[in-house]
Structure 1
Amino acid sequence: MLTLVLLLAASTSAQTLSPSVLHAKRSHLPAGWSRVRRHAQDAVLPLRFGLTQSNVEMSTLERLLNDVSHPESVNYGKHWTPERVAEHFAPTEEAVHAVTSWIVGSGLPQERVRVSKTKGWVMVNASVAETEKLLNTQYHVYKHKSGKEHVACEAYHLPAHIVPHVALVTPSIDFNAMLAKRASDPTHKLGQPGAGVSLKVGSQISSTMNSDDLDNCDVTITPACVRALYDFRYSPVAAHKNSLGIAEYTPQAYRAADLDLFAKNFTSLGGESLVGARPVLQSIQGGVVQHINVSFEFNVESNFDLAYAMNLVTGKQHVTLYQVGDFEIGGSFNNFLDALDGSYCTFEGGDDPTTDSIYPDPLPGGYKAHDCGTVKPAYVISSSYADNEADLSPAYAIRQCAEYAKLGLMGVTVLYSSGDNGVAGNDALCLNPDGSQTEDGQRFNPLFPGTCAFVTGVGGTQINPGSKVTDPESAAELSSGGFSNYFPIPDYQKSAVAGYLKANPPPFPSAVYNATSRAFPDISSNAVNFTTTAEGIFFPVSGTSASSPVVAAMLSMINDARLAVGKGPIGFINPTIYSAAFKGAFNDITDGSNPGCGTPGFAAAKGYDPVTGLGTPNFPKLLKLWLALP
């Protein structure tokens, strides 16, 4: 009892003496938004303080990952258990005590203050007036030109002694939170037509195609073209031990008839038909394969990802569909990650109501639970979605990036499409000096999560018109690439990036990009004129959304080969693929560029480049090299 009294006294004393300091500030309003009024003083905010995790500095995470992921490490492949991960990164008791004592000492009733089960967040429902006093800020209502309204502040402050213990506060400076949720107006844009990375669609093509024809791969890519491009011929032998996951976000959903139409024309390796085959549905946060919005724009992404992944790994290997978000409010990357790691639901405040969908969903028909740690992650996970890094606060992006590091420690390979607008962001937006985004901006606009150093970003290539499938590919102009504005360059990449910039100095001012930060993508594969189906019709589609599931299928089959001989999955691959041991394991792309933001973008070149990364997979070489590792 005496110890508790002393601790409370010390906390009160520190609070009295501790000055208020700026903790986070938004530099600009996102495009299309304007401030319309002060938020009502008696409105209640679900205030959450995300506590700082232990051992989550970028340098520490990189060191831990290198220990299990670098081919020269004695611990290569010795991945951690989920229990070890949760214990290693848990917030300290000191953080919990300091934050709760400060809130109560500031006048909020103790009975309102709650601490999550795993002590990752401190929660209190507070009025706007109370919150503004506590954080030394003002909350306003903002309105988008579409009519949507959001609530946020422009900056907030914390006592200096609290700052080391708090990673982020929600709701605060981030956007995309609506004051009122409606079934017709989802909280998060992922899965909505035209949102994030989206496939570019060509004109309708013939409904009957020769699945083995390699003469027209420069016009339309098929599974046979993919196999020929990367010498990818492998039939699973340890499928019962292996796993491959594709993430989709409601309302984007596959159409069964389209999968069957694709399967009728394109048999998998060995002539096996996949007609009638379906992915294994893993519903997350109420995710459903919806049949309400059935049209090209709602089905093409999911149709494509699943059709190619399933075909390339053959019918012997099940593909898991992670369908994220109920039909009422949808889902986000964080909603997905919650289900993979129970500790992530609470780390640093958990889901951010200004960017993520919050479950349980109170809407009629909404999902009445919150999936936390309910899903065992697949060994390889592919996602064809991305946000402009600038749309997210650094704290939000850093928290999520740390989670990808934890998945890597557990032996999971996470792939993200790099994006489809060259050095510009989604919607071809570029950055202005004040941080705002417009089409005529001059600064490059990188995409997240591909800019996180703990995922593998996948860029795009193409077969040049008139070229054969055996000829060298070029960079696809659409392939997003460049440098993060949030994350430092990882050690595994420093030499490759320095070599590129020295040999290929870009023909534009260094002020338009951050040459000292994390470069992306890491690797690439074909992304132009893929044949796919939607609404019973064949179309050619283009985008790095195509690249990620194709690479995921190849890496999954490398896992199959390792598991068959008693070895573990390859896990986080970046330290390995950038190592000297894997030099020459990728087809180097030396032609093309990724223009945008009024510049020619970066040029593809010998070795690494921020358009195609290290190049496209040479499957036989990669298989041999990974089989040789412990």
Structure 2
Amino acid sequence: MHYYHCISVLSVLATGLLGGLAKPLSPPWDDMHVKHSWNTVPRNWESLGHPPSGTLIDLYIALKPQREKAVVDALYKVSEPGHPRYRAYLTKEQVAELVAPRPETLELVHSWLEHHGISSSSISMTHGGNTLMLKGVSVTQANTLLGASYQLYRHVERGETIVRTVGYSLPRALHWHVLTVAPTTTFVFPRTQWQTPRNLSDRVVKSTSGEHATMLSSRAKVDSVTPSFLRWLYDTETYTPSTRGENVLGIVGFLGDYPSQADLTAFMQKYRSEADDATFTVVEVNGGRYDPTHPNEEANMDIQYAEAMAYPTPHIFYSTGKGPSGTDNYFVSWLEFILDQENIPQTISISYNNEERSISREYAIYVCELFAELGVRGVSVLVSSGNDGIGKGTCLRDDGTVRFIPRFPGTCPYVTVVGGTTDYKPEVAADFSGGGFSDYFKRPSYQEEAVSTFLRDLGNQYQGLYNASGRGIPDIAAQAVGLPIFFNGNEQKETGTSIAAPVVAGIISLLNDWLILTGREPLGFLNPWLYGRNFGGLVDITEGSNPGCNMDGFSAIPGWDPVTGLGTPDFHNML
């Protein structure tokens, strides 16, 4: 009897304990611990003091998923040639299942928000189900919620202002459940990757013959990098896309940048006359605008070269705004929109990026995994590598040491990064081509052999100035010096990896057209395929370098290098 009495008592105690666990008491929400902070205001930003009274912001609370690596695991399965699930892409609903947070995560976060008086009507789920968006939160309320001190900051070069804080905290109980909150300490102001053409030194030009001899004879003056030259150089001139209703190419615009149809028509009439009816659709995202009478050079060059390579493939230009208060995050805003679509363009080009060191590691991981969601759904994302070589200026950190400066989102392992070249057969690295190694993301498995080989050849040079175990960029490259565009009816030349990205995106779009035509799925996330082919289909670039940080930079050598990646595309070899 005594034995059974003990069991009975224990059962009652256990029942009470489990009942308590099922409905936990609210944690001490005032037990705040720093989530992320900067010692100083990030470079190129200055504080203007507290924002005007009544300023509202939209807060994104990124929740950790129940299955932490589920999306990345799925991405590699659908992206690695030879895997049984290769190109077996997932639907929007299937991805949402992979990124869903734990039920207790949602319960705790909602309890915390309720404690601070956040109305449930202002809370919505975004980004496939792993993010809570709080609409229209006052800065005063955000300061209380996050133990922050939001201020108005101005970008010293562009003059644009945003609302940010140099540090924020979360209750101890939420640190394990919340990856990051945005906008907080990430001073994202995407920089476009184009610049005024440099005066190039003369290089030896190999003899050639035929139609392209005249075209190439003045290459040192960058007078020949026209669409016809690019289509000849990358071997796409004999291929015409035919799946016009099924294959789409997307171009992402930020900062109020949008293109001109009139300039596109003028460009095509001069440089690809059979395509003078080329057009594009504008999709306005998060307050993005479209005023064709006030185009932007960046948007014009992106759409003109994507069209020049991929015509008559349909093109969508995403005009992404910064929201009514000017505090929204550009990448997060666009990704929120695109991941909510049932149908997404198979190829997307992005020519904007930031110094990796200007954003928090948690924020970078968050955005990077959103790009992984695109890859799982069969989307190839091409981004520019930057125009600062290994880094702009002296590359000094707050502690006075030098560190090379890679650019995000290129450092994300789940996008394909495009560097720059110049000259012709053989092409050489453009001396501004952004390249290097991530300080936030480790080297992915698909890069292991190629990058390790480069590092062995590099030896001790620049030791300690970069992360030798980090993700290497770029992955691929294309012409980036002195390409003509039309802007406000006038012709001018532009330079930068900003142009290289849509050129490569156009070529990838042609490959996707052929796959769809032959009844197969598009390429999706490219990198495991590109690296796994042992550079097959690419032309290795072995000359040039990318100086920066007052140093000579890395050198282009046989095989992969952090200047031109695996090389430049050869369409029919890739096909």
TM-score range, shorter chain: 0.7 to 0.9
The equivalent residue for 2:438 is 484
TM-superposed deviation, 1:253: 2.4
Q: Does 1:341 align with 2:295?
A: no
The equivalent residue for 1:356 is none
Distance 1:17 1:250 in 2: 37
Q: 1:604 aligns with which of 519, 541, 556?
A: 556
Please say if residues 259 and 292 of structure 2, whose CA atoms lie closer than 8 Å, have aligned partners that are also in contact.
Answer: no
Please say if residues 475 and 566 of structure 2, whose CA atoms lie closer than 8 Å, have aligned partners that are also in contact.
Answer: yes
Please say if residues 249 and 345 of structure 2, whose CA atoms lie closer than 8 Å, have aligned partners that are also in contact.
Answer: yes
SS at match of 1:561: helix
Matched residues, number? 539
Question: TM-score, normalization: structure 1?
Answer: 0.77
SS at match of 2:25: helix
TM-superposed deviation, 1:584: 3.4
TM-superposed deviation, 1:33: 4.0
The equivalent residue for 1:196 is 192
User: What's the C-alpha RMSD, in Å, of the aligned pairs?
Assistant: 3.4
SS at match of 1:483: strand
The equivalent residue for 1:215 is 216
- Once the two structures are superposed, what CA deviation does each residue of 1:429-452 show, in whole Å capped at 9, x if it has no partner? 45423279xxxx832111111111
Please say if residues 286 and 323 of structure 2, whose CA atoms lie closer than 8 Å, have aligned partners that are also in contact.
Answer: no
Q: Does 1:302 align with 2:295?
A: no
The equivalent residue for 1:456 is 416
Distance 2:30 2:265 in 1: 65
SS at match of 1:340: helix
Shift in CA distance, 114/461, structure 1 to aligned 2, threshold 3 Å: same
Q: 1:313 aligns with which of 298, 310, 327?
A: 310
Shift in CA distance, 113/20, structure 1 to aligned 2, threshold 3 Å: farther
Distance 2:491 2:123 in 1: 53
Q: Does 1:542 align with 2:495?
A: yes
Q: 1:51 aligns with which of 63, 68, 76?
A: 63
Q: Which range moves more in the overlay, 323-332 or 252-261?
A: 323-332
Q: Does 1:232 align with 2:236?
A: yes
Amino acid at match of 2:430: A
Shift in CA distance, 134/382, structure 1 to aligned 2, threshold 3 Å: closer
Please say if residues 442 and 598 of structure 1, whose CA atoms lie closer than 8 Å, have aligned partners that are also in contact.
Answer: no
SS at match of 2:192: coil
Q: What 5-or-longer segments of structure 1 have no aligned partner? A: 177-188, 204-209, 343-372, 464-468, 624-630
Q: Which range moves more in the overlay, 114-123 or 92-101?
A: 114-123
Distance 1:444 1:474 in 2: 22
Shift in CA distance, 498/582, structure 1 to aligned 2, threshold 3 Å: closer
Distance 1:536 1:109 in 2: 54
The equivalent residue for 2:260 is 255
SS at match of 2:364: helix
TM-superposed deviation, 1:169: 2.8
Question: TM-score, normalization: structure 2?
Answer: 0.84
The equivalent residue for 1:475 is 429
The equivalent residue for 1:84 is 94
Please say if residues 59 and 181 of structure 2, whose CA atoms lie closer than 8 Å, have aligned partners that are also in contact.
Answer: yes
Shift in CA distance, 275/620, structure 1 to aligned 2, threshold 3 Å: closer
The residue correspondences of 1:330-479 to structure 2 (distance < 5 A) are 332-342=330-340, 373=341, 376-424=343-391, 428-429=392-393, 431-434=395-398, 442-463=402-423, 469=424, 471-479=425-433
Distance 1:492 1:486 in 2: 17
Q: What 5-or-longer segments of structure 2 have no aligned partner? A: 1-15, 200-210
Please say if residues 8 and 101 of structure 1, whose CA atoms lie closer than 8 Å, have aligned partners that are also in contact.
Answer: no
TM-superposed deviation, 1:493: 0.6
Please say if residues 409 and 571 of structure 1, whose CA atoms lie closer than 8 Å, have aligned partners that are also in contact.
Answer: yes
Distance 1:143 1:262 in 2: 36
Q: Does 1:590 align with 2:550?
A: no
Distance 1:18 1:319 in 2: 50
TM-superposed deviation, 1:587: 0.6
Distance 2:91 2:569 in 1: 30
Q: Which range moves more in the overlay, 135-144 or 81-90?
A: 135-144
TM-superposed deviation, 1:246: 1.7
TM-superposed deviation, 1:282: 2.8
The equivalent residue for 1:64 is 74
- Once the two structures are superposed, what CA deviation does each residue of 1:397-429 show, in whole Å capped at 9, x if it has no partner? 2111101101101000000011111111xxx34
TM-superposed deviation, 1:462: 0.8
Please say if residues 422 and 479 of structure 1, whose CA atoms lie closer than 8 Å, have aligned partners that are also in contact.
Answer: yes
Shift in CA distance, 285/511, structure 1 to aligned 2, threshold 3 Å: same
Distance 1:4 1:141 in 2: 48
SS at match of 1:11: coil
Distance 2:64 2:76 in 1: 23
TM-superposed deviation, 1:454: 0.3
Q: Does 1:94 align with 2:104?
A: yes
Please say if residues 148 and 169 of structure 2, whose CA atoms lie closer than 8 Å, have aligned partners that are also in contact.
Answer: yes
SS at match of 1:434: coil
Shift in CA distance, 56/545, structure 1 to aligned 2, threshold 3 Å: farther
Q: Does 1:533 align with 2:500?
A: no
Distance 2:372 2:387 in 1: 25
- Once the two structures are superposed, what CA deviation does each residue of 1:509-558 show, in whole Å capped at 9, x if it has no partner? x2221111111100011111212222333222211111111111111111
The equivalent residue for 2:10 is none
The equivalent residue for 1:616 is 568
Distance 1:41 1:242 in 2: 48
TM-superposed deviation, 1:42: 9.7
Shift in CA distance, 16/46, structure 1 to aligned 2, threshold 3 Å: same
Q: 1:566 aligns with which of 516, 519, 526?
A: 519
The percent identity for this pair of structures is 32
Q: Does 1:165 align with 2:169?
A: no
Please say if residues 268 and 276 of structure 2, whose CA atoms lie closer than 8 Å, have aligned partners that are also in contact.
Answer: yes
Shift in CA distance, 156/73, structure 1 to aligned 2, threshold 3 Å: same
Shift in CA distance, 69/430, structure 1 to aligned 2, threshold 3 Å: farther
Please say if residues 280 and 317 of structure 2, whose CA atoms lie closer than 8 Å, have aligned partners that are also in contact.
Answer: yes
Distance 1:319 1:170 in 2: 30
Please say if residues 251 and 327 of structure 1, whose CA atoms lie closer than 8 Å, have aligned partners that are also in contact.
Answer: no
Amino acid at match of 2:243: A
TM-superposed deviation, 1:93: 1.4
The residue correspondences of 1:20-169 to structure 2 (distance < 5 A) are 20-34=32-46, 49-57=61-69, 60-104=70-114, 108-109=116-117, 115-117=123-125, 118=129, 120-121=131-132, 123=134, 135-136=146-147, 138-139=149-150, 151-169=163-181
Distance 1:255 1:211 in 2: 30
